[in-house]
Structure formats: C-alpha cells, structure tokens
C-alpha cells in the first residue's frame, strides 16, 4: 500500500484501522489522523491482542522510515491472527514528504524564550539608540534587556512551582515601573 492510496482512505473516512508502530513519543509529536499507537516493542507482548480487539477491517501498518519495520510489524500482527494487515510503503517519512495531514502536539515557545527574545530585541534597540547618540534611550533599553534576562532566569528557577517566588513578582513590578517611567 502506498501513501497516496492510504491518504485517500484517511481523507474519505473509509473503515480502516491504522496502526503506528513508532515510539509513543514519536506518535505524540505527530501522527496520521485516526491512527492508534502500538509501539513496535509492544507487538510481541503476550496477550496484547487479548486486551485489544482484532478488527475485520483492513489494517495498515505505518513505521518511521519505511517498509522494513512496517513489514516485520505486519508479520507479527498476522501471526497474532490479524490476517488482513498490510504495510505502508515509505512510512511516516513519505507521508510527511507528500504533505499529507498529520495530528499531534504543536510546538510552542516557553515564556523564557519570549523573555530572552525580548531582551535580545532590547539590546538591539540599545545599539541603535547609542548609534543615534541618544544615550538616555540606550540606557533605558539596556535596563529593560537586563531586567528581562533576570526575569527569564527567575522564571526558569521557579518553573513547575505553582506560585512563583516573591523575587519574580518584584522583578515584574520593577519592569513595569521602568517601562511606565519612560512613557
């Protein structure tokens, strides 16, 4: 089975079962819509198919980089009684290369990344202000950049805690006051 044919089945919501034999983390990051995860290592677990119902629908097996692992996984499924299992040529790599739809976590930047990026922009603004001989504005941008870096450092130290420390709140107030004083 090639990816183009599978994509048609997925988009048209055909009654198929799609098993992704990549790791749980790879599956969580990105997977084909409607697929379920059974990592390759779990296929040989005794009783796996007593816990999961075997389907009478055609089963398509997808792996990370193509045919070899999907083919082995298909044979394991067939030996467990899932005689209608078929490997997908090209695997997830081919699916992505063709631009077919995927689901999964979206990448997002952390608060520290935004703070560090803001500090870098403030430092750049400092350089521009200094070049234009506006020392007051340059000093202000330099202070803002420093405060943002400190804020990023404190928020990283308190990451995971439910209530950030008083130093982080104080730093937020100082940053706000400095920005207000300039305006």
Instruction: Indicate the pTM of the whole model.
Output: 0.54
Q: How many CA atoms lie within 13 A of 167 on its CB side?
A: 10
Q: Which segments of the chain does DSSP mark as H helices, in order?
A: 3-11, 24-29, 48-51, 67-79, 91-97, 111-131, 135-157, 166-182
User: pLDDT at position 126, please?
Assistant: 80
User: pLDDT at position 134, please?
Assistant: 84
Task: Give the other-Cβ count within 10 Å of 74's Cβ.
Answer: 23
59, β-bridge pairs: 17, 85
Q: Is 159 helix (H, G, I), strand (E, B) or coil?
A: coil
Query: Are 82 and 59 spatial neighbours (Cβ–Cβ below 8 Å)?
Result: yes
pLDDT in tens, the chain (183 residues): 888 888 888 888 888 888 899 888 888 888 998 888 988 888 877 666 655 555 566 777 777 776 788 888 888 888 877 778 888 888 888 888 888 888 876 544 555 666 677 777 777 788 887 888 888 887 887 888 777 777 776 665 554 444 344 445 555 565 556 555 555
Instruction: Work out the widest C-alpha separation in the chain, in whole angstroms.
Output: 78
Query: Are 96 and 124 spatial neighbours (Cβ–Cβ below 8 Å)?
Result: no
CA–CA distances in Å: residue 112 to residues 25, 77, 116, 151: 24, 45, 6, 8
Task: Give the other-Cβ count within 10 Å of 26's Cβ.
Answer: 17
CA distance 115 to 41: 41
Q: What angle do CA 70, 73, 79 make, to 5 degrees?
A: 140
């Amino acid at each position: 089975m090639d990816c183009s044919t599978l994509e048609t089945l997925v988009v048209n919501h055909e009654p198929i079962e799609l098993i992704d034999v990549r790791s749980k983390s790879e599956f969580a990051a990105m997977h084909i819509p409607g697929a379920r995860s059974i990592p390759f290592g779990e296929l040989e677990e005794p009783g796996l198919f007593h816990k999961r119902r075997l389907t009478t629908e055609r089963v398509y097996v997808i792996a990370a980089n193509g045919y070899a692992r999907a083919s082995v996984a298909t044979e394991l499924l067939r030996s467990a009684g899932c005689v209608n299992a078929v490997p997908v040529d090209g695997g997830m790599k081919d699916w992505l290369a063709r631009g077919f739809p995927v689901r999964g976590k979206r990448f997002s930047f952390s608060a520290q990344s935004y703070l560090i990026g803001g500090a870098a922009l403030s430092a750049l603004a400092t350089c521009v202000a200094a070049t234009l001989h506006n020392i007051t504005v340059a000093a202000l941008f330099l202070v803002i950049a420093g405060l943002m870096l400190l804020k990023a450092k404190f928020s990283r130290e308190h990451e995971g805690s439910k209530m950030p420390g008083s130093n982080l709140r104080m730093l937020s107030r100082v940053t706000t006051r400095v920005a207000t004083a300039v305006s």
